[in-house]
Structures are given as structure tokens and as C-alpha cells.
A = this chain, B = another copy of it.
Amino acid sequence: MRDPLSRTFAALADPTRRAMLARLSEGEANVSDLAEPFLKDMTLPAVTKHLKVLENAGLITKGRKAQWRPCQLNGEPLREAVDWMEQHRIAAEAQLDRLGAYLKAKTKGTRHGRK
């Protein structure tokens, strides 16, 4: 059992699953629709498993319509993951800015730190 953020990132750490999400970001699709681009590379049960990973991460929801399972993307976990990343990326860049300011101050007047 893993925390939600870890499950989200783990789900995204696979190009097949990301391609499936990309496809779903253009609109609802059935399992076989989603599988189609990958059936040269893997079997249907493998696709089902990938979808299960995405579902467990809350990134997609599966409906049912007769024998079809229309899937749709849920953006919420993506938003939470982005929030985490932006928070720290921004902090890291602020660090760099402070370093830049420090270096600039340190070399002020020496006129040889330009590039």
C-alpha cells in the first residue's frame, strides 16, 4: 500500500500508460480503443493491467456500457502531483536566484565575471 502521490507518479512512470492518458485527454475511449496502438507490442491482458494501474492511481475511471468499458481521464491526481512539483521546482529556482545575486554582489566592480 502506497501513498496517493507515489501511486500517481508510479503510474506515470511508463510510456504506455502515459500514451493511454494522452489518448484519454482527447476524450473517452473503450479498453479496445486504448489497446489498439499497442497490440503489436503487447497482448490485451497487459493493456488491462496498465489500465488497472491507472485506475488504482485514480487517474482514470471506468464506466460500463454493455460489454464495453468506457474510460475517462480524471485530472485531479495530476493536479496534486503538479502542485507538489511546482512547489519544489520554484523553491529550487529561488535558491538559484539567491546564488546568482550572491555571485553578482561578490564580483561587483571587478568587471570580469561577464559572459
Given A10-B10, A15-B3, A86:B95 Cβ within 8 A: no
| Contact present for B10 and A15 (CB under 8 Å) | no
Q: Chain A, 8-29, contact with B by CB distance < 8 Å: what is the 0/1 string?
A: 0110111100100110111110
Instruction: Tell me, yes or no, whether A91 is within 8 Å of chain B by CB.
Output: yes
| Contact present for B92 and A25 (CB under 8 Å) | yes
| Contact present for A85 and B82 (CB under 8 Å) | yes
Instruction: Tell me, yes or no, whether A5 is within 8 Å of chain B by CB.
Output: yes
Q: Roughly how many angstroms separate A78 CA and B81 CA in the complex, as a whole number?
A: 11
Q: For residue A75, give the distance in angstroms from its CB to the closest CB of chain B.
A: 4
Q: Roughly how many angstroms separate A79 CA and B93 CA in the complex, as a whole number?
A: 11
| Contact present for B6 and A91 (CB under 8 Å) | no
| Contact present for A14 and B25 (CB under 8 Å) | no
Task: List the interface of chain A (C-beta within 8 A of B).
Answer: 3, 5-7, 9-10, 12-15, 18, 21-22, 24-28, 72-75, 78-79, 81-82, 84-93, 95-96
Q: Can you list 27 residue pairs at the A/B interface with Cβ under 8 Å?
A: A3-B15, A5-B18, A6-B18, A7-B13, A9-B13, A10-B13, A12-B85, A18-B84, A22-B88, A24-B92, A25-B87, A25-B91, A25-B95, A26-B91, A26-B95, A28-B95, A72-B92, A73-B88, A74-B92, A75-B89, A75-B92, A75-B93, A75-B96, A78-B85, A78-B86, A78-B92, A82-B85
